[in-house]
Structures are given as C-alpha cells and as structure tokens.
C-alpha cells in the first residue's frame, strides 16, 4: 500500500474534476483538508461584504463567519460527493464535528484562529472503516467557531497524524523568482526558508503555505511538499519529480 498522505486541496471547484480523479485513484489512505477561498469570496460579495486579507489570511469579522462556514461546508459536501461517485467513500466534516479541531483565536483578524488540538483518533477510526475524511478548516474555542487558514489547519492535522503533508496549489512549488516558473526549488529546509524570507522571495499566499509546511514538520510530519494540483501529481511528488519538498 502507498504511504498515507494528508492532502491540502484548494477550495475552488473549478477544475475539480481532475483533482477528484487524482485523489480517488490514490491507492493509499488520505485525509483531505480543503479551503474555499473563491466560494467564500463570492458568497461574501453577494451578501454585500468586502474580503480583506492580512499576511495572506482572511480577516473574518463575527458577522461574516456564518457565511464563511456556509461556503466551506457546501464545498466539502460537493467534494465528498465527487470522491464517493468515483468509488472513494468520503465524509465532509469540519472541526466542529466531534470537536475534531480545537483552536486559539488571533483576535486582530476577527474570528480567525490557529489549531491547537486535533482528534487524530477520530480520523483514524474513519479511515479504518473505509472512509476518506474531508475537513473544513473550522476550529473551536470556548466562544465558538474560528476560521482557520486551510494551509495552517492542514499542517496541524498532518503533524497530529504523523503523516507527510502535500499542499496542492496552482503553482509547481516555491520559485526563487516568483515570476519565473523555471526557478522552482526542489528541496528546502527551515534554514533555507529563513534565508528566502529575509530576501523577500516569499510573497502573498505562498507565505502561509510555506509556514504551514514547516509547522507540519515541527508537529511531527516526516516531510511536506507544495505542488501543483494536477493529474499524476501525487505519484510525481512521491518520486521527487515535482513540487518543493520540505525536510528538517
């Protein structure tokens, strides 16, 4: 059996057919943490709210949290249906279910937080029963739900499981020159990341992805990778043919 993987999948359902085919065909165990950025942004706009980001993280005032959850949950259910129709039985959950994800707030961003506790036993139980868990990145603190960046949540879940984490995105990995795809860096360590950060190479949405990959290592993941979500990507990442792999 292929090694188990924690997959972070983007929330956009555009182009999801190829991603679903890839995940459904993977022969090993998977846990998927999914985002929902485009769907969240579209729903907030329809409701008259403006989307604002700080350091790549979505600012979530309390009055927007319900809409964020609605968009995430519908995205998860659609992904679960898509995987199940392809023969991989999937369940769409959030951190609210069975208190799976416990969080700590980042008050300057509204009802936004980071994960401080993961019920890995629940995920393993579902896997043993033949289900692929899909997790929306909503965590709980004493006051209720927190919106967690999906990359950050994925890093915490990978660490709790002790599994490698693969962050699927729309680029092939970390580029030394963000404008030049031929400058992909195949391997990075925490020290190398610090050097890139000091040079200002890491920008925008790549900042939380790289931080999450390093957090996965810190929490117990054997390795992490950032790669483009396309057909054949998981095998290519495992063979070291694509993406950027992070190790200690």
The catalytic residue positions are 8, 11, 37, 151, 209
Instruction: Collapse the DSSP code of 196 into the 3-class scheme (helix H, G, I; strand E, B; otherwise coil) and give the result.
Output: helix
The number of angstroms, rounded, from the C-alpha of 15 to the middle of its chain's C-alpha atoms is: 17
Q: Say how far apart CA 157 and CA 154 lie, in whole Å.
A: 5
Please, which residues bridge with residue 247 across strands? none
Range 198-201, long-range pairs (CB < 8 A, 24+ positions) = 201/174, 201/176, 201/177
CB atoms under 10 Å from CB of 2, counted, come to 12
Please, which residues bridge with residue 146 across strands? 139
CA dihedral 133, 149, 246, 222 (to 10 degrees): -40
Joined together, the tokens standing for residue 185 give 């860096």
Instruction: Select from 131, 138, 38 the least CA-distant residue to 80.
Output: 131
Joined together, the tokens standing for residue 210 give 């790289």
């Amino acid at each position: 059996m292929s090694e188990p993987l924690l997959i972070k999948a983007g929330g956009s359902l555009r182009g999801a057919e190829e991603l679903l085919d890839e995940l459904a065909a993977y022969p090993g165990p998977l846990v998927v943490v999914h985002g929902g950025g485009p769907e969240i942004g579209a729903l907030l706009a329809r409701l008259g709210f403006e989307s604002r980001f700080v350091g790549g993280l979505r600012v979530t005032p309390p009055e927007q949290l319900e809409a964020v959850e609605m968009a995430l949950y519908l995205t998860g259910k659609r992904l679960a249906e898509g995987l199940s129709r392809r023969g991989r039985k999937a369940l769409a959950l959030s951190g609210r279910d069975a208190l799976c994800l416990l969080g700590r707030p980042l008050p300057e961003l509204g009802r936004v937080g980071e994960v401080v506790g993961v019920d890995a036993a629940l995920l393993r139980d579902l896997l043993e029963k033949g289900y692929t868990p899909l997790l929306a990145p909503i965590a709980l603190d004493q006051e209720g739900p927190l919106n967690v960046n999906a990359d950050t949540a994925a890093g915490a879940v990978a660490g709790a499981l002790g599994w490698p984490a693969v962050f699927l995105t729309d680029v092939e990995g970390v580029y030394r020159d963000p404008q030049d795809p031929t400058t992909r860096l195949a391997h990075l360590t925490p020290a190398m990341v610090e050097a890139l950060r000091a040079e200002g190479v890491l920008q925008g949405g790549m900042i939380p992805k790289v931080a999450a990959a390093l957090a996965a290592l810190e929490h117990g993941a054997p390795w992490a990778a950032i790669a483009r979500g396309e057909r054949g990507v998981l095998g290519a990442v495992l063979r070291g043919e694509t993406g950027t792999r992070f190790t200690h």
